[in-house]
Copies of this chain bind each other. A is one copy, B any other.
Amino acid sequence: MRDLKGHPELCAINTATLGFTARIDKVIDAVARHGFGGIAPWRREVEGQDIKAIARQIRDAKLKVTGYCRSSFIPATTVEEFRANVAANKKAVADAAILGAESFVMVVGGLAQGSKDLTAARRQVAEATAELLAHGKAHGVKIALEPLHPVYAADRSCLSTIDEALDLCDRLVPDGEDMLGICLDVYHIWWDPALARAIERARGRITGFHVCDWLRVTKDVLNDRGMMGDGVIDIPAIRGMVEKAHYDGLVEVEIFSAADWWTRPIEDTLRVCKERLATVC
């Protein structure tokens, strides 16, 4: 397993960690200044801006773009809505290409509004992913399916486990070519009793690896994630599995923390991220 101590260049910052309180140019500067090797920006920071200028600034700062976050939710109640969701994602994939992102991160969405049909939601996700994969290939951008914790199955992601994501990869890319992969976040997968086996199965298909922590007392499952080391996840054990499965990309910090980390100065948060990556990840 790689030693992260003294190697922030092996690590990346997902900008959500900083709560979107600073402009993207300031965030890029700060992330680079702390020595991180990469950044994962969000569409809300990029769309409507001068994307080429943002891309240039990131390139000049020698930062990789680990992932571009994230897909619009797929499942829809009408064909028109479904097509609009796919179209929005195609536009974002094109932007990911401009940014030089290594992947476009797909948070696929939960049940369509008013629906109780998870199977239908999953069918729509498969259909849209096939289309976005073709689009990604044309733009040179990998599509990264991110399974989300089952607690989000209703409203954010009907893709809940590593195995489910890999099953979809197998269906869409039977020959295993590498433009479709999966993104693993310890927050979403740590509980899985089949974790070691599932990560081994993902060998060669892991396009991203996110860290944060699960607080034993979680006040809000969406926006009360912990800083690495403050919760119950055995992060080194999971990173070991992921690297054993041939992941050699950056270790990316993504923390949603409305009441805590998002209220702090971004310099403080970046400093603590760097320290925790070196000591508890």
Contact = CB atoms under 8 A, between A and B. Distances in A.
Contact of A151 (B163, B217, B221): B221
* Chain copies in complex: 2
Interface string A229-256: 0011110000000000000000000000
A281 interface: no
Contact of A154 (B158, B160, B192, B232): B232
Contacts of A153: 190-191
Interface of A: 111, 115-118, 122, 149-151, 153-155, 158-161, 163-164, 167, 190-194, 214, 216-218, 221, 231-234
Given A116-B234, A214-B154, A164 B193 contact: yes
B216 A155 contact: yes
Contacts of A190: 118, 153
Nearest to A164: B193
A160 B232 CA distance: 16
A69 to B, nearest CB: 23
Given A116-B232, A150-B149, A232-B116, A122 B193 contact: yes
Contacts of A118: 190-191, 234
A117 B234 contact: yes
A155 B217 contact: yes
A181 to B, nearest CB: 18
